[in-house]
Amino acid sequence: MAFLRAAVDRFCREVADLAPAVRLRRLAELRAMLDEVTDAALMVAMADARGEGWGLRKIGTSAGILGDANAGSSLE
């Protein structure tokens, strides 16, 4: 994770001197690309977890979709 964070930090520093319109566009492109890649990986991981018999609550909690299962969720 540290490697990825460093790469994203480096990218952000590299675009810091660009004109605001260009910088905003580059950052939006970065965010969209990260969302696309991580969403696809999350879907595969969730399907694999379901295939291993995980319940939806455990999958949601592990994926960060649900809060802590002990926090009084309305799904109790």
User: What DSSP string describes 12-75?
Assistant: HHHHTTS-HHHHHHHHHHHHHHHHHHHHHHHHHHHHHHHHTT--HHHHHHHTTSS--TTS--TT
Q: What is the reported pLDDT for 76?
A: 38
For residue 59, pLDDT beyond 60: yes
Burial class from Cβ neighbours inside 10 Å (0-12, 13-18, 19+) for residue 19 reads exposed
Q: What is the pLDDT of residues 16-57, one digit of tens each?
A: 999 999 999 999 999 999 999 999 999 999 999 999 999 999
For residue 73, pLDDT beyond 80: no
Tell me the pLDDT band of 68, cut-offs 50, 70 and 90.
low
Q: What is the reported pLDDT for 72?
A: 46
